[in-house]
Amino acid sequence: MNVLEEVAEPTSLETASCFLDNYLALPDHTMDARIAEARRALGASTILLGHHYQRDEVIRFADFTGDSYKLCRAAAETGARYLVFCGVHFMAESADVLAHDGQQTILPDLNAGCSMADMAEIGQVEQCWDDLLAADVRADEILPLTYMNSTAAIKAFCGERGGLVCTSSNARRAFEWAFARAKKILFLPDQHLGRNTGHAMDIPLAEMPVYDPWQLAGGIAPARLRSARVILWKGHCSVHQRFLPEHVDKVRAKYPGIQVIVHPECRLEVCEKADALGSTERLIQIVKDAPVGSSFAIGTEIHLVNRLAKQFAGKTIVTLDDTGCLCTTMYRISPQHLAWALENLVEGRVVNRIQVAEDVKYWARIALDRMMEI
């Protein structure tokens, strides 16, 4: 299964790249008026989707802000023809999967990937499935589940084998759904979300081994594969894995009484020390609902933490790790890339279109639809 990235005629990748070089030589602030003018010219034909981790210089132009699934759903419900996704590659893929006929998804910079999604390549996952069957794990006793932060090919893999997609907010419901139908779960690609979810359901850590795609048979003995309840993929978020238990201890010592809230992509040891954990939307809601004077240390991407600190000036909001945790791939979407994509649309050229192959789209959509059923 292949996911195709296409640049529509009449602009070729080579020509488009040449045009882009002219934009990248200009300062960020010089793009503001050009972006605003292009948006006026495009009108309702185009919407901008901005993920929470996007830089301020870009997200301020967004029509919709949110996490990846929320943005994909919002885009599909509009009448816009062009969906300009200021996020990363797997998000644009998901938007294309959920889009209705006639909608086209654009990623301003094709280099804006996701390190977690890239840790589960479809060939490796297919090999993992073969390893499970070779260990006498029956196909009818295991279901593959994948986190939203995965490629369309991985979503399709799960959909074709009876599994589904989950978000960080409904991972437990996805696990419960799967265990009602099978004895085991193969969880992709974030080991921490899978471990945190299983641990909250009282599944022993010994029954949640980690499959390493770079080791023979994942580095797990066949007997342990047969006894496992959740097989975790060796993947992680490069931002959230950086948070450590000592960061929690340090921030509590520095700010007595502070509430520590973290994303479930963090390590289990960090989540156990936190006061609360939740999806990006949930973390925002916790801060929003808290009374003036509250204080929070948040374990998530630094752009969102800084934005919340500005938005809720009557509350003390700091990052859990004061060295900062930047999503470098999300940061690739710059004002220059956005202006370039929009001005090409004004001229009738679609650049950096993300187009998922039809067979992949079919099964990925089934996996996403199953999630909606729970």
> What is the full DSSP assignment across 82-151?
EEEEES-HHHHHHHHHHPPTT-EEE-S-TT---HHHHTS-HHHHHHHHHHHHHTT--GGGEEEEEESSS-
Q: What is the pLDDT of residue 127?
A: 98
Residue 31 has pLDDT above 50, yes or no: yes
Q: What is the pLDDT of residue 27?
A: 83
Q: What is the pLDDT of residue 58?
A: 94
Per-residue pLDDT band at 323 (split at 50, 70, 90)? confident
In this structure, is the dihedral angle defined by the CA atoms of residues 243, 245, 247 and 251, taken in order, positive or negative? positive
Digit-coded pLDDT (tens) for 197-256: 999 999 999 999 999 999 999 999 999 999 999 999 999 999 999 999 999 999 999 999
Bridge partners (DSSP) listed for residue 230: 185
Q: What is the pLDDT of residue 11?
A: 44
Percent of the chain with pLDDT strictly greater than 70: 95
Nearest to 238 by CA among 277, 198, 208, 265: 265
Q: What is the mean pLDDT of residues 279-289?
A: 95
Is residue 260 within 8 A of residue 274, CB to CB? The reply is yes
| Cα separation, 178 vs 23, whole angstroms | 48
| Cα separation, 98 vs 115, whole angstroms | 23
Residue 13 has pLDDT above 80, yes or no: no
Q: What is the mean pLDDT of residues 299-307?
A: 93
Whether residue 335 has a cis bond before it, omega within 30° of 0:
no
Is residue 196 within 8 A of residue 277, CB to CB? The reply is yes
0.75 exceeded by pTM:
yes
Domains and CATH numbers, the chain: 3-110+330-362 (3.40.50.10800), 117-237 (3.40.50), 240-319 (3.40.50.10800)
Per-residue pLDDT band at 324 (split at 50, 70, 90)? low
Main-chain phi, psi angles of 86, to 5 degrees: -90, 85
Tell me what the pLDDT averaged over the chain comes to.
92
Per-residue pLDDT band at 151 (split at 50, 70, 90)? very high
